[in-house]
Amino acid sequence: MIDSYKHQGLRKHLVEIIRGKGITDYNVLAAIGKVPRHFFFDSSFLKYAYEDNAFPIGSGQTISQPYTVAFQSQLLMLGKGQKVLEVGTGSGYQACILAEIGAKVFSIERQKSLYDKAVQFIPTLGYRIKLFYGDGYKGLPAYAPFDKIIVTAGAPYIPDALMEQLKPGGILVIPVGGDDVQEMTTITRISEKEFQKREHGKFRFVPLLEDKARED
Ligand code: SAH
């Protein structure tokens, strides 16, 4: 696939749309302007790649809306070289945005077909992201603690394992709620024992599923 001037122009336009919706973090906007979102789409759907919408990626899952990706990324307040865990690799787009910002990214996916696709595809874009097939509710204890954790599916509750895997000063960004709507929530680990919760408005995600990883 190629990244033509036309694609680059569409991306610039997308950045302006997202800026217009209130995203101010320069590094986040620059990353949206850089990562070729159309590479994550099937060739027959290319024209949808630079609209500010979520889109189906197969296996009943979606690539998140660019604004949502930017909003969650901004809440992470990422510094270069920080260790970030993503739960819900999906297409890999959000993971690439975080890598483009300069984070060391670890990402977990529970659907084998999506994990396999991401393992093949992401290195072709030049990003080095550590991908794992498994259940994100458990986090990645072997690689913890993390500076930041981002969950990209709607969680019915905040998993303790993810809070435990935050460094002091770390931030967890997670949409919390039922199947229809979730509240974007941040948990900041103030100290070993103290956590501060904040809410940032309503979003809609596919559900964070609780059963074990699936072979489909
Ligand atoms: N970040 C993705 C958005 C993917 S949608 C992107 O940029 O494209 C949410 C993803 O979370 C789906 O791929 C879904 O399979 C995955 N998921 C759902 N429950 C999960 C769990 N318990 N552990 C890991 N991944 C999960």
State yes or no: pLDDT of 138 exceeds 90. Answer: yes
Which residues contact residue 161 at a Cβ distance below 8 angstroms, ignoring those fewer than 6 apart?
Answer: 137, 138, 139, 141
In this prediction the pTM is 0.96
Instruction: Decide if 98 contacts 84 (C-beta within 8 A).
Output: yes
Structure tokens at 141: 């204890």
Which of these ranges, 54-58, 77-81, 130-134, 209-213, has the smallest mean pLDDT? 209-213
- Contact of 103 with 83, CB cutoff 8 Å: yes
pLDDT for the residue 43: 80
Residue 215 pLDDT greater than 60, yes or no: no
pLDDT at 136: 97
Ligand 1 probe mutation, 97, 209, 216, most atoms within 8 A of CB: 209
Q: How far apart are CA 14 and CA 99, in angstroms?
A: 19
pLDDT, residue 213, reads: 53
Q: What is the pLDDT of residue 211?
A: 73
In this model, does residue 19 exceed pLDDT 70? yes
Q: What is the predicted pLDDT for the residue at 46?
A: 81
Compute the mean pLDDT over every residue in the chain, rounded to the nearest whole number. 95
User: Is the preceding peptide bond at 156 cis, omega within 30 degrees of 0?
Assistant: no
What string of DSSP letters covers 127-169?
A: ---EEEES-GGG--GGG--EEEEEE-SBBSS--HHHHHTEEEE
Domains and CATH numbers, the chain: 56-210 (3.40.50.150)
Look at residue 45 in the predicted model and tell me its pLDDT: 83
Reported as a pLDDT band with limits 50, 70 and 90, residue 214 is: low
> Helices (H) and strands (E) in the chain — how many of each?
6, 9
Using the atom order of ligand 1, give the atom closest to the CA of residue 136.
Answer: 23
* pLDDT at site 10: 96
Better-scored residue on pLDDT, 211 or 105: 105
**What local confidence, expressed as pLDDT, does residue 99 receive?**
98
Give the atom of ligand 1 at the shortest distance from the alpha carbon of 69: 7
| Residue in 4, 44, 59, 64 annotated catalytic | 64
**4 in active site:** no
State in Å: Cα 85 to ligand 1 middle: 12
Q: Are 86 and 94 in contact (CB under 8 A)?
A: yes
Residue pLDDT, tens place only, 146-165: 999 999 999 999 999 999 99
